Structure 1
Amino acid sequence: MILVTGATGTIGREVLRLLPAGQAVRIMARNPAQVADATRNAEIVHGDFTDPSSLTDALHNVHTAFLVTNPDGADDARFLDPARAAGVRHIVKLSAAAVTDSGAEDLITRHQRHNEELLRASGMDWTLLRPRAFMSNTLSWARSVRADGVVRALYGISVNACVDPRDVAEAAVQALTGAPGEHAGRAYTLTGPQALSAAQQTAQLAGLLGQELRFEELSPQQAREGLGARYPADIADALLESARRQHSGSKGVVDP
Structure 2
Amino acid sequence: MNTVLVTGATGAVGRHLVRELLDAGTRVRALTRDAERAGSVLPDGAEPVVGDLADADALGRALKGVDRAYVMLDADAGAAFAHAASRAAELRHVVLLSASAAADPGYDNPMFRKHVEGERQLRASGVPTTFLRPGAFSTLALHWVPAVRGDGVVRVVFPQLSVALIDPRDIADVAAVALRGAVDRWAGRVLPLSGPRLLNMHDRARIIAETVGRPLRVEQVPEEAWVRAASAHLPEPYARALVGVERYFTERPPGVAGTVAEVTGRPARSFRTWVTDHRDAFLG
TM-score greater than 0.5 by the shorter chain: yes
Corresponding residue for residue 245 of structure 1 = 248
**TM-score between both structures, scaled by the size of structure 1:** 0.92
Q: How far off its partner does 1:38 sit?
A: 4.4
Supply the distance in 2 between the matched residues of 1:83 and 1:130 (Cα, whole angstroms). Answer: 20
Q: How far off its partner does 1:233 sit?
A: 3.2
- 2:224 is paired with a residue whose SS is helix
Comparing 238-247 and 12-21, the one that deviates more: 12-21
Identical counterparts, % of pairs: 36
- 1:19 is paired with a residue whose SS is helix
- Among 36, 39, 45, which residue is 2:43 paired with? 39
Corresponding residue for residue 234 of structure 1 = 237
Q: 1:47-106, CA deviations, whole angstroms, 9 ceiling, x for partnerless residues? A: 223434322221110111111123xx2251111222222221111111110111366321
Unmatched runs of 5 consecutive residues or more in structure 1: none
Q: CA RMSD in A?
A: 1.8
Q: 1:185 to 1:138 in 2, by over 3 A?
A: same
Corresponding residue for residue 110 of structure 1 = 113
Corresponding residue for residue 97 of structure 1 = 100
Corresponding residue for residue 270 of structure 2 = none
Corresponding residue for residue 128 of structure 2 = 125
Supply the distance in 2 between the matched residues of 1:114 and 1:211 (Cα, whole angstroms). Answer: 42
Bigger fraction of residues in helix: 2
Supply the distance in 2 between the matched residues of 1:161 and 1:28 (Cα, whole angstroms). Answer: 29
Comparing 234-243 and 165-174, the one that deviates more: 234-243
Contact (CA 8 Å) 1:107, 1:234: kept in 2 or not?
no
Supply the distance in 1 between the matched residues of 2:146 and 2:196 (Cα, whole angstroms). Answer: 27
Q: 1:11-70, CA deviations, whole angstroms, 9 ceiling, x for partnerless residues? A: 111212222422100011223233134434110112223434322221110111111123
**TM-score between both structures, scaled by the size of structure 2:** 0.83
| Pairing 1:219–2:254 present | no
Corresponding residue for residue 278 of structure 2 = none
Q: 1:80 to 1:38 in 2, by over 3 A?
A: closer
Amino acid in the other structure paired with 1:41: G
Corresponding residue for residue 68 of structure 2 = 64
Q: How far off its partner does 1:229 sit?
A: 2.5
Q: 1:188-234, CA deviations, whole angstroms, 9 ceiling, x for partnerless residues? A: 01011111101111111121123332222222112211332233333
Supply the distance in 2 between the matched residues of 1:229 and 1:251 (Cα, whole angstroms). Answer: 29
Amino acid in the other structure paired with 2:48: I
Contact (CA 8 Å) 2:77, 2:117: kept in 1 or not?
no
Q: 1:115-173, CA deviations, whole angstroms, 9 ceiling, x for partnerless residues? A: 10111121110000000000121111011111112222221122112211111111111
Amino acid in the other structure paired with 1:56: G
Q: 1:53 to 1:158 in 2, by over 3 A?
A: closer
Supply the distance in 1 between the matched residues of 2:213 and 2:80 (Cα, whole angstroms). Answer: 48
Comparing 22-31 and 51-60, the one that deviates more: 51-60
- 2:65 is paired with a residue whose SS is coil
Q: How many residues align?
A: 253
Supply the distance in 2 between the matched residues of 1:209 and 1:49 (Cα, whole angstroms). Answer: 37
Supply the distance in 2 between the matched residues of 1:102 and 1:238 (Cα, whole angstroms). Answer: 15
Corresponding residue for residue 9 of structure 1 = 11
Supply the distance in 2 between the matched residues of 1:51 and 1:98 (Cα, whole angstroms). Answer: 25
Amino acid in the other structure paired with 2:158: Y
- 1:91 is paired with a residue whose SS is strand
Contact (CA 8 Å) 1:16, 1:40: kept in 2 or not?
no
